[in-house]
Amino acid sequence: MPAAQAPRKPLQVMHISRREEQKPLENDGLSSSDQEKGGDSQPDSIIIAKSEAEKTLANAEREKLEANSPSKYSEPEGLEDLEGLTMEDLLGPSKREKIRDTPTFSRNTQQEEISTSANRSVDDFDFDEEAFLAALDENQPIGNTGEIATGSVIGIDSDGVYVDIGGKAPGFMPKNESGLGVITNFKEKFPKGLKVEVLVTREQNADGMVTISCRALELRKSWEKVGEMEKQGQAVKVKINGFNRGGVTCDLEGLRGFIPRSQLEDGQNHESLVGKTICVAFLEVNPDTRKLVLSEKRAVVVARFAELKVGQLIEGKISAIKPYGFFVDLGGVSGLLHHSLVTNGSMRTLREVFDLGDQVKALITELDPGRGRIGLNTALLEGPPGELLIEKEKVMAEADERAKKARSLLDTKDQEQISE
């Protein structure tokens, strides 16, 4: 039920209250004679007439304003014609078809789909592992530092070569990294389309470009090759290209090698070796510190080792006697005849069998070119145990025939060790 409206003031009361405000003004317009006559009724009628005129004027102005600016609460024109229409009628036929074609999802349907997805395993989804790994490979950054890459030359400028190595940007190889030695004709060395193998020396920058080097890759391969030579105890020939107070320098597989004066056969006149080719062996190979130290004297040992093999009968001179055995000079290299391998009999002292300067024949049972070791054995030449203590000259005279039997024993032992 609507709330009761407050009763309006009577029109006269309103004007009377207004009259009290305007009374001083009206009284000013009256003559003194009128006031003396007690003209109370005449002023009231004048005030009421003026008030009615003001009210009429105010109503006319309000109606004029309402006519020019319609109220916000007024209903829009033609609204009564829209009564009874649905949203589909308002949207039209084309919109109705789209609305009908659009699938609607209820709360129950969504809950069912959520529960179904929760119960599905990984295998139930359309998941292709090969495609996933292929996508990872495509986005894998190409060119980590230290990696070897193969690509094609795609451009040359004054600063270097651009090589396509499969990344989002080509690799750049500076001129000073294009190879070992001096390159006289750069364009002829790297024509477009040439397949090259390079080493990544700096990872990609913001533009995706990596820095590559042929020189660094060749140096890495050279160190690996030289290291393998050292392990095998090889001797190599080098050409001397410089000297200083401590020795001479040379070039080996693109690396700078140094030969100390103490490791030269003619160390007193080492300046004269510049331009000559000598045979050297390895003393130190260290790619981390880039130290390659060689020796001409050791090359003689290496060359001698190349002539020796296990099971071979050799002859030498006793050059030193130690508590643990004899050192035998084999012509540039020394072999050790350990006291446990001299004889199978009971021996009180080493000098009971051999003395300093004696010629001795022995079998080689161990060769280690890397450490320069040669192991010798005379006990294998004996018939009965301790024969060397009694008939040393006979054993030495028959050493060649006895060595053949001993080699067959050594081969049998080697085969047994391999089978084990």
d(CA 397, CA 392): 9
Asked if residue 366 belongs to a domain, the reply is yes
Tens digits of per-residue pLDDT, 121-166? 545 545 566 766 665 555 555 557 778 888 888 888 888 889 888 7
pLDDT value of position 67: 58
Same domain? For 352 and 295 the reply is no
pLDDT value of position 189: 85
pLDDT value of position 72: 44
CATH number of 171's domain: 2.40.50.140
Same domain? For 284 and 352 the reply is no
Same domain? For 318 and 405 the reply is yes
Same domain? For 247 and 320 the reply is no
Same domain? For 177 and 251 the reply is no
pLDDT value of position 143: 59
Same domain? For 313 and 415 the reply is yes
Final residue in a domain of this structure, among 301, 317, 352: 301
Token pair for residue 355?
């003395």
Final residue in a domain of this structure, among 301, 336, 352: 301
Final residue in a domain of this structure, among 270, 301, 332: 301
Same domain? For 313 and 381 the reply is yes
Asked if residue 165 belongs to a domain, the reply is yes
Which residues of the chain have a pLDDT value below 50?
1-4, 9-23, 25-42, 70-76, 78-79, 95, 98-99, 102, 104-107, 122, 125, 418
pLDDT value of position 248: 95
pLDDT value of position 105: 45
Asked if residue 367 belongs to a domain, the reply is yes
Instruction: Decide: 396 and 358 in contact? Cβ < 8 Å.
Output: no
Same domain? For 207 and 245 the reply is no
pLDDT value of position 239: 94
Asked if residue 259 belongs to a domain, the reply is yes
Give me the domain span that covers residue 193: 148-214
Token pair for residue 45?
């009628």
Query: pTM here?
Result: 0.50
Asked if residue 412 belongs to a domain, the reply is yes
Say how many domains are in the chain.
3
Instruction: Decide: 400 and 413 in contact? Cβ < 8 Å.
Output: no
Task: Supply φ then ψ for residue 261, to 5 degrees.
Answer: -60, -35
Asked if residue 250 belongs to a domain, the reply is yes
Same domain? For 318 and 415 the reply is yes
Same domain? For 360 and 382 the reply is yes
pLDDT value of position 102: 47
Asked if residue 136 belongs to a domain, the reply is no
Asked if residue 89 belongs to a domain, the reply is no
pLDDT value of position 313: 92
Same domain? For 327 and 342 the reply is yes
pLDDT value of position 100: 52
Same domain? For 387 and 324 the reply is yes
